[in-house]
Amino acid sequence: MQDKPHRSQEQEFSEERSSLWRITFGPLVWAVHFVASYAATAAFCAKWPEPETHIDLLRLGVGLATLVALAAIGWLGWLAWRQWDFLDDHDYAHADGNSEDRHEFLGHAAFLLAVVSFIGVVYSGLPALFAGSCR
Amino acid sequence: MGRRYSSAAAFSMAGALAACDGPQSALRTGGVDAAQLAQLFWVMLAGAVVLWLLVNGLFLYVTRIKTRSLSRKWAEALIIGGGIVFPTIVLGALLAYGLTMMPDQRAPGDGLRVRITGEQWWWRVEYWPEGAETPVISANELRLPAGLRSEIELTSAEVIHSFWVPGLGGKTDMFPGRPTRMSLEPTEPGSYRGQCAEFCGASHALMAMQAVVMEPAAFDAWLAKEAAPASLPEGPGRDLFFREGCGACHSLRGTEAAGAVGPDLTHLGGRSSLAAGILPMTSEALARWIFDPASIKPEAHMPAYSHLSDAELASLAGWLEQLQ
């Protein structure tokens, strides 16, 4: 009897601990994509600046990295959307300190961060599509 | 009351329109690059006007015309649609539009390279025609051939400056020790005014330049003349120039005056302005400048020659003006 609440609390705590990390994954993918594409472009354009040699290789690389990042963020966003469980109770506010509210709040936050990260990745990937040059 | 307002509005409108037509206006475009930027400006202005009307129209609608409260569903749709989806799409479209412009703005030049160094508070200008091994050195005036794209290399001597001739193109910063580049393709022969666009010290606001766009044949003739050594008229002005040691800082190509601290004076009288675009090229202005540069351009590094008599100043200035 004494053991049970203790164990469930621990379970809940471990679950929230992992999902606290999980809300950072969307922005993390965005950051990795941003650093990787800027670093790759800088190195590439320093090596082959003027004649537009191999530029399609760079565009393809950044394009692929963008698609992978978007897929990853989309998947994280889907997980977060399910954790928020909005369609179940249409709950925007998670003001009560119970475990369901904590659970849904973290899903809600992770979902919104995934949306921001998705837009960020699209914007930082656009130069590969529209500028298409080291200039 | 209404009349006073309307005349004030007309006055500010006239002021605003007059500003659009001046030699330093980004909207009086004399080249491909500035025309592209002006188009970007008009597109964004039109978009901003539409958005302003929409937002204020909506505001008027919900506060004066239909004041009942919105259902939660519609309110959420308005916030998510108007606050997130719509701006994301508009900003994405503007970003794509701007990005397609960037390669054109930085396209490589057709042959002529001009290297401009920002100094406190003037511009060192070197022309490198295609295949040249030494530059043609000038200062405080940029001449470019119309219809050709010229490569502009930018750097700075001590502090950060920014090179900007609004009528010809966008601005690019100039850093000590880190060259930057841009290119300009002017199309309309004429005179444009440039201005340092990054605060660079006491006389930043007085660091301007004339940019002169010429027909290519006229440009080539001008450059050949500019490359020639100085032809020095005889006279007391010449003796004063060498006696006062002007050549320690200034060059007159082909003479012992070979200083590189200040602007090259080989063809000074041929420039359209003096002291980086702030004085007319007249002997009176030259005399005023030599008498006390810092009174015209605060903290200018050139020392004052206030010990010279008025007659000496006049003959030196008159002689300098003849260095065509």
Residue that wins the pLDDT comparison between B9 and B291:
B291
How many domains is chain A built from? Answer: 1
Q: What is the pLDDT of residue A97?
A: 72
pLDDT digits (tens, 9 = 90+) for B40-59: 999 999 999 999 999 999 99
H helix and E strand count, chain B: 9, 12
- If you write DSSP's letter for every residue of B176-191 in order, what string do you get? BTB-EEEEE-B-S-EE
DSSP character for B154?
E
Interface of B with A (CB under 8 A): 84, 88, 91-92, 95-96, 99-100, 102-103, 105-108
Contact B58, B52 (CB under 8 A): no
Q: What is the pLDDT of residue A96?
A: 74
How far, rounded to the nearest angstrom, does the alpha carbon of residue A79 sit from its chain's CA centroid?
11
**Domain that residue A112 falls in:** 24-130
Instruction: Please indicate whether, in this complex, the C-beta atoms of B92 and A123 are within 8 angstroms of each other.
Output: yes
Of A119, A123, A133, the CB nearest to B103: A133
- If you write DSSP's letter for every residue of B254-287 in order, what string do you get? TSS-B--SS---TTGGGSSEETTTTEESSHHHHH
pLDDT digits (tens, 9 = 90+) for B226-256: 999 988 888 899 999 999 999 999 999 989 9
Residue A5 lies in a domain: no
pLDDT digits (tens, 9 = 90+) for A65-105: 999 999 999 999 999 888 888 777 777 777 777 777 788 88
Coil vs helix vs strand at A45 = helix
Residue B136 confidence class, pLDDT cut points 50, 70, 90: very high
B114 and B149 part of one domain? yes
Q: Residue A52 above 90 pLDDT? A: no
Beta bridge partners of A127: none
A32 contact partners, CB below 8 Å, separation of at least 6: A69
Contact B179, B200 (CB under 8 A): no
Average pLDDT of chain A is: 82
Residue B2 lies in a domain: no
Q: Residue A45 above 70 pLDDT? A: yes
Residue A64 lies in a domain: yes
Coil vs helix vs strand at B114 = strand
Q: Residue B15 above 60 pLDDT? A: no
Instruction: Please indicate whether, in this complex, the C-beta atoms of A130 and B100 are within 8 angstroms of each other.
Output: yes
A132 contact partners, CB below 8 Å, separation of at least 6: A55, A59, B103
Task: Calculate the alpha carbon distances from B61 to B66, B72, B161, B227, B256 in Å.
Answer: 6, 18, 49, 68, 78
Give the residue ranges of DSSP H helices in chain A.
3-22, 25-47, 55-84, 86-89, 99-130
B210 and B241 part of one domain? no
Instruction: Please indicate whether, in this complex, the C-beta atoms of A126 and B95 are within 8 angstroms of each other.
Output: yes
Q: What is the pLDDT of residue B262?
A: 93
Q: Which of the listed residues B223, B249, B283 is the one where a domain comes to its end?
A: B223
Average pLDDT of chain B is: 90
* Chain A nearest C-alpha distance from B29 (Å): 23
Between CA B74 and CA B65 the distance in angstroms is 17
Give the chain A residue nearest B106 (alpha carbons): A135
Average pLDDT over every residue of B158-181: 95
Using a CB–CB cutoff of 8 Å, tell me whether A119 touches chain B. Answer: yes
ipTM above 0.85 for this complex: no
Residue B107 confidence class, pLDDT cut points 50, 70, 90: confident
Average pLDDT over every residue of A104-131: 91
B311 and B249 part of one domain? yes
Q: What is the pLDDT of residue B18?
A: 56
How many domains is chain B built from? Answer: 2
pLDDT digits (tens, 9 = 90+) for B189-230: 999 999 999 999 999 999 999 999 999 999 999 999 999 998
Using a CB–CB cutoff of 8 Å, tell me whether A50 touches chain B. Answer: yes
Residue A11 lies in a domain: no
Between CA B68 and CA B89 the distance in angstroms is 30
For residue B53, what is the domain's CATH number?
Answer: 2.60.40.420
Instruction: Please indicate whether, in this complex, the C-beta atoms of B100 and A127 are within 8 angstroms of each other.
Output: no
